Structure formats: C-alpha cells, structure tokens
Structure 1
C-alpha cells in the first residue's frame, strides 16, 4: 500500500511543484505582455501587479491558520488548486483594469495560499532532509523552464492571449495531481518548546530575516513586471525571452541539487548573504548591459542564487525556526511579508518608474540597491541564530 513516504507520493509532490511553478512561468513573465496586448499602460501594469500581489498577504495566513488548527493541509491544498483554476478562467470573459484586477487578485489569493501547504507536506514527507527536499523542489524549476519557453513560443505563433489558454491546462493538471497525494498521519507534538509564535516573530533574528526577504522581493519588481517587455524593447523575440528566462531557472535547477550540501556546510546566514549580493549584481547587469546576449546570459545564470539558493535557505530557516507546531503559519507569514508586501511594493514602484521602457535602467539600478540593503540586514545576526 502506498504511503506518504513512498517514492510514488514523492513523485506526485514533484509534479505538484512542476505544475505550480510552471504556472509562474506562464503567468509572471508574460502578464505584462498580456496586459500590454489588452491596451494597458506601463503605469497600469505596475498598479495591477501591486494590487494583485497584495492578495498574497491575506490568503496564506488565513489558510495556514486553518491548516494548523484542523490538520487538513491536503484538503486545503486541493481546494486552493480548484479555486485558483476557477478564478484564472474568469479572464476569458472579463476585461478592463478593475475586472481583471479582481479576477487575478482572487486567483493570487488562492494560488499563493497553496504553497505553504505544499512546502509543509513535502518537508514532512522527506522528514526535513534538505537534500531530498532539494531534489523534489527542483521539479518546480523544471516546470518553470518548460512552460516559460513554451508560452513564449505560443505568443510568437498566436497572440498575447496565449498565456490564458496555456494557464488553464497547467492549473487543471495541478488540481488533478493534488487529488492523488497522501499526507503523513498526524503525530503527537513532542516538542518541549512551547514558545508562542508571536514571541518567535518578535525576535531580532526574525526581524532581520523578514526585512531582508521583503527588500529582496521588492528588488524583483522590474523583473517580474517588465522583463518580457524589456526584452522586446531590446529587440529579442518572445521565444528568445522564454529561453533567457528558462536559462535562469535551469541554473536554479542545478543549484537545488547542491542546496542542501551548501546550507549544511556554510549555514543559512552566509548562503543568504552571498545569494542576495549576487542578486544585486544581477540587477545591475540588466540595468547596464542587457543588450549584450553574453552579459544577459551571465545575469540570468545568477537566478540560481537570487531565487534558487535563497529560497532553499529561507525554507530551511522557516521550517527549523518555527518548528512542527507553527510551521504552516510560519510559512504563511514569510510568504505574506516577503512576496506580499515586498512583491506589491516592487510592482508598484517599478510600474511608476518604468515609463513605457524609458525608466528601465533606473528601475533595475534601484532594484540592485534594494538587494544590496537586503544583504546588509543579515550581517549583524549571529550565524548560530540562523
């Protein structure tokens, strides 16, 4: 009989990551292209990005509180996948700034609420082994690559509406896979640490970590919102853009294979500091030399650190810092602050600075500064605390 720890269930978790982050590859790089095709200005695109990203604040915390109190993480994961598909599909029938904002905000609320449940389920199924976690999580990166390249090609062949059709197929696949997952049986909490989650949150180490995470995600604003349009302005095709984005995630896949070893050897603090400093370099390269394919390739390879290694180290910190009792809420707090507040601020500011491409260099330069400050936030914290 198949169990939560069986290879079959771990394979299904790998497919869950593949389709979940594959939808990122469909939606995030090409949302600007899709909205541009529907007549939105760069200011409106930035504002829509900011508004829908705010949905990341409420959703994860609400669902995580329910998951920790009921122990029904898998059921919430399945419901979230179904509701995400439903809300995303509304874009076929609605148009205009506020209608699309509401549709995508509802989708984002359910979509980002899925991830804490997937992370908790996976970490429990691999018994918090960072190496095994890395091998499963890398399939999310593979899905991102495949779907980014494929969607870019579909835009070249058909139109800027292609991401909608691809996204429905991907989200339908995600929902179907979740129906076959198995979660470990609840075990009695044997932890002796009865410190409340709020006392854990009000510690200097967590303040430093979350401030760094917010600034890091803020720095991603120009990349998530305008990279595809930036590439088009520089003369690259939609398919070429897909390959450049895919290249970055391919580097991310490779780093996931070594993430557990690097974290165990150097510790969470220094893995994060180095990864974020390399992120700052990446944004500076995009600001200054993105017209050169060679430097663009170099910048995209740094995605291995700016997302891949930084994400793995952050997950390791959250899982061990909050422990078994509060792990879902810990994941949700991290996602809400980092991706919600940081992501919304990044989308808003980059949208107002972009100015139909005229402010591209300034936007990526400020992103580089934001990442640099994010790394500095972690320096005062002792390595033993992380």
Structure 2
C-alpha cells in the first residue's frame, strides 16, 4: 500500500482529548464492577441471579462490540459513535431508578451494556491511530481511564456509606452524562486511513489476521480469569467484616498499581517484548488466584491486589502493542471490537460459572480461575511460539 509522503497534522490536544475519552467509560466500570453486585444484593437477588445479571451485561456487550468495525466504516467520524453510544446508554440506565424486579433489572443492565459497548473499542482505535500516525504515548492516554476508575470507586464507595446502595445508579447516571460531554470533544480523524508499510497486517513484523485471533483469545482468557474477583470479591470482603472504606481501598490498590504500569509503559515496552509482557502477566495471574483463598486479613489482599499491575496491565499493554504492529489501521476498530467480543464472551461464561461455584465453594472457587489463566497462557504461548520474533517497539 502506498502512503503519502507526509501525514497531516495531528488534531489539537490529541493526547489530552483521548485521555478524557478513556476516563469516561472506565469511570463507569469503577462504579459497576465493584458495586453493581452489592446493589443487586440490596435488591434481594440470589447469587445465581446476580451472576445471571452480570453475565447478561457481558453477553449483550459482546453482541454489539463485534459490529464496532462496521459502525466505524459507516460513520463519517468515529466520535459520532461515541455520542450515540453514550446518549442512548444514558437513557437506558434511568430505568434502574424505578424498579428492582429481577427480570426488568436483567433487561435494563443488558440493554445499557449493549448500547455502551462500542464506546471503549472506538476510543482504543482512535488512540492506536494516534500512536501509529503521530507517535503519541499509548500508556499516557490509557492511564487516565484507570485514574477515572479509582476516583469513581472511591466516590461510589463513600457515597454508598452515606446514602446506601442507591449511590450506584446515581453515580452511574452522572458518569454517563460526562461520557456524552466527552464524546463531543473526542479527536476527529476523518474516514481516510493511512498505514505505514512497516506496520501492515501482512508484513514481516506482523501476524496474519487469523493468528491475531488466537492472541486475542489467549489475552481474553486471562482477563476472564478475573470473573470471580469482579463479581464476588466485594461480597466476600463484606462477609469477612471489611468496611466499605477498606473494600474501596483494596480495589484502588489494584488500579493504582495498574496506573503505575501505564505511566512507565514506554520504558517497559522498550525493555520487554509484547510476548514477554503477556506471558509474565499470565504467570502472576495464576499465582494471584492460587493465593486468594488462603488469606483472611486486609493486608494480605492488599499485597495480592498489587498483582493487578501484571495480571491485567501487562497483558493489556502487551496485547495493544502487538496489535499496533500486527493489524493495519483500517482494521484496528474490527480488531478492538473482536477483543471486546472475545473478552466479553469468556468473561460472561466466567462470571456465570463463578455464581454457581461461589454458591457451593465460596472463596475456593478461585481455583477455577487458575484453570482459565493456565488455558490463556497456553494460547498465548502457542501464538508466540509460531511467531517468536522480538518486537519491543516502545510507545
């Protein structure tokens, strides 16, 4: 593919605007991931019903995320997808204020997840375009999503202590309003896609696209091994007598460790290949879930939460750096959508399985998450074994 001799200038404040776009959807995760299960408990739902709602949330997200590439091709500007996604999601979440019926909540949570599904992968595609076209720092943009997660986890936790679990839908509504506002200031890239020859999808440094799917599956399996943690850790810690403040602190320790990784991601990527980052993240994930059933004190879980810097952040960074090398820019939205789809599908199964296992084994169900992490490691090892070249590209 031929490319222009010079690239057009980057949109003004590109990195800052992408940082805002990352902060919006991940701030919502900072509310829903730790506290939606607690809100569902307050509605009187059983562990299986809670798992069903959480799994439906992920399944619906998957169903729409797979069409992200198609939506990107249809839209005159990617930011328009962000606008419609956040606006419709905002309308749907209002339903949580009027009912606590299981079937209605199941439907509302699923619809909201489906409507908001294109937001995050479109932001990833925009950011990766900035990395490839103008050399912006991926980690410096993505880190603000993690910061947003921490801030909203603390806000929702403290507000829950003051007004109860109604803080969950209230803070979710506020974040979705902010997501809509941020969508209007997201960078405009236009429909023309320019790809550097060295980064093409079929070049010597790239993977065949079918091989990318094996990589996506392996990374998704590692992320899905967090399913029991996302769904039941807050409930488990409450059962151990931990206060809301301690629980919020434990969540924040994990994300703060993740933030530190993103801040220094350029240095890390220059020293280690994407494959090494992903494999090491897998090993830490296996160790983390193996030790989770052993502890009973807050300090022990605080140490384990530091492992999130590796079981999540290293795997995510390694994957995104490899995708920036292996997938052409005009296929980035499709690749990111496929990742969300695989991630969501496996996480939905993991979450639903966790509800069943937690009912019978409680904390010892984390050993099932060890098995998922091992399978993910095997998939990534196969992918890297077939294409063992080192590609520490930096940011």
Is the TM value for this pair above 0.5? Answer: yes
2:368 corresponds in structure 1 to 366
**2:92 touches 2:108 (CA, 8 Å); kept in 1?**
yes
Match of 1:321 in 2: 326
3-state DSSP class of the match of 1:180?
A: coil
Task: Identify which of 57, 81, 91 aligns with 1:76.
Answer: 81
* Residue-pair matches, total: 374
Name which of 67, 77, 102 aligns with 1:97.
102
Given the alignment of the two structures, is residue 39 of structure 1 paired with residue 47 of structure 2, yes or no? no
Give the match for residue 378 of structure 1. 380
Query: How far did 1:171 drift?
Result: 1.1
SS of the aligned residue for 2:272 comes to: helix
Gapped regions of structure 1 (runs ≥ 5): none
The reply to whether residue 221 of structure 1 matches residue 227 of structure 2 is yes
Structure 1 counterpart of 2:358, from 328, 334, 354: 354
Distance 1:133 1:190, change over 3 A: closer
- Secondary structure of the residue aligned to 2:180 is helix
User: SS at the partner of 2:67?
Assistant: helix
CA distance in 2, matches of 1:130, 1:24: 28
Counterpart of 1:270 in 2: which secondary structure? helix
Taking the aligned partners of 1:190 and 1:136, their CA distance within structure 2 comes to 21
Whether 1:233 aligns to 2:239 is: yes
**Is 2:169 aligned against 1:167?**
no
* Equivalent residue for 1:256, pick from 248, 252, 262: 262
Mapped to 1, the partners of 2:135 and 2:371 lie a distance apart of 30
- Tell me the residue number matched to 1:306: 311
**Distance apart, 1:200 and its partner CA:** 4.0
Structure 1 residues 334, 194: CA separation in 2 closer, same or farther (over 3 Å shift)? closer
**Which position in structure 2 is the counterpart of 1:6?**
12
Q: Residue 24 of structure 1 corresponds to which residue in structure 2?
A: 29
Name which of structure 1's ranges 83-92 and 211-220 shifts more when overlaid on structure 2: 211-220
Q: List runs of 5+ in structure 2 lacking aligned partners.
A: 1-8
CA 1:207 to 1:127, structure 2 compared with 1: closer, same or farther past 3 Å? Answer: closer
2:120 is matched with 115
Structure with the largest fraction of helix: 1
Distance 2:53 2:40 in 1: 9
Asked if structure 2 preserves the Cα contact closer than 8 Å seen for 1:216 and 1:342, the reply is no
Partner of 1:276: 282
Instruction: Give per-residue Cα distances to partners, 1:150-200, cap 9 Å, x unaligned.
Output: 1111112211221111111111111112112231244454566687xxx94
Of stretches 54-63 and 246-255 in structure 1, the one that deviates more from structure 2 is 54-63
Measured after TM superposition, the shift of residue 210 of structure 1 is 2.8
Cα offset, 1:383, TM superposition: 2.8
Retained in 1: the 8 A contact 2:77–2:188? no
1:182 is aligned to 187
Aligned equivalents of 1:241, 1:265: Cα separation in 2: 35
